[in-house]
């Protein structure tokens, strides 16, 4: 019986120990596969291959590094997908959700009525866009500078792209802002979502850099603090 092996030139990763692997499974026929084991930890390299999306999503919400390794390295494989296209789409969605967050925050703080025509006014839109632009410039700058000087100064461009992709993807908690279009929530819910985004970013950042947890938390916390202060200043 002939078998086909999925090979990623060591760009794939064992979700258990974080070591690079050549393949995740052997496919004998459509729907008939055998999961490969990691040579380092001797466990199945990626059991998420056989899991439903909801199980993966739940583990992402629970901040499990295994789920982030599966998503970032075995699903969004940089050597097999258009990384620039994914980053552009992820960053666009990230900025749109962030703009909605800023608008909700300003609506809560200033007492604006979202149903009024002022929402479409040039001054309101310009202020929201300015906050989003400056805040995220500060966020990305501190994130990359922290990576440059506190972790490894020899990182390549691809490594920085991996970090940006990890941060954008792990900010999926911002999707909960969409629920605020349907139901009314107190303003402090926005800050609760920010905390979840921060913690999720820290886990994804650690997975993408494979560095100490405390350093990853400090860098992510500093980046979010820079963004918060920029938003407060503007």
C-beta neighbour count of 81 within 10 angstroms: 11
Model-level pTM?
0.82
CB contact at 8 A, 66 and 51: no
Q: Which residues lie across from 32 on neighbouring strands?
A: 29
Check pLDDT > 70 for residue 108.
no
State mean pLDDT over 63-79. Answer: 86
Residues 131-153: tens digit of each pLDDT = 899 999 999 999 988 888 876 55
Check pLDDT > 50 for residue 119.
no
Domain boundaries of the chain, sorted by first residue: 4-75, 83-233
Check pLDDT > 90 for residue 203.
yes
State mean pLDDT over 20-34. Answer: 85
Residue count of the chain = 234
pLDDT given at position 110: 56
Residues 35-63: tens digit of each pLDDT = 999 999 999 999 999 899 999 999 999 99
pLDDT given at position 103: 82
């Amino acid at each position: 019986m002939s078998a086909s092996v999925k090979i990623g030139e060591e760009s794939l990763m064992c979700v258990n120990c974080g070591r690079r692997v050549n393949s995740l499974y052997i496919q004998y026929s459509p729907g008939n596969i055998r999961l490969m084991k990691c040579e380092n930890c001797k466990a199945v390299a990626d059991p998420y291959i056989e899991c439903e999306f909801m199980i993966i999503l739940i583990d992402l919400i629970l901040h499990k590094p295994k789920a982030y390794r599966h998503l970032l390295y075995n699903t969004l494989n940089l050597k097999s997908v258009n990384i620039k296209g994914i980053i552009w789409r992820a960053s666009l969605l990230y900025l749109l959700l962030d703009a909605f967050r800023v608008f909700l925050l300003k609506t809560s703080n200033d007492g604006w009525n979202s149903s009024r025509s002022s929402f479409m006014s040039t001054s309101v839109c310009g202020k929201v866009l300015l906050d989003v632009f400056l805040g995220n410039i500060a966020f990305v700058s501190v994130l990359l500078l922290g990576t440059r000087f506190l972790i490894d100064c020899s990182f390549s461009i691809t490594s920085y792209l991996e970090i940006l992709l990890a941060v954008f993807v792990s900010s999926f908690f911002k999707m909960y802002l969409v629920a605020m279009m349907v139901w009314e929530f107190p303003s402090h819910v926005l800050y609760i979502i920010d905390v979840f985004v921060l913690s999720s970013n820290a886990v994804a950042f650690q997975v993408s850099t494979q560095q100490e947890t405390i350093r990853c938390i400090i860098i992510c916390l500093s980046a979010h603090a820079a963004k918060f202060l920029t938003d407060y200043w503007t």
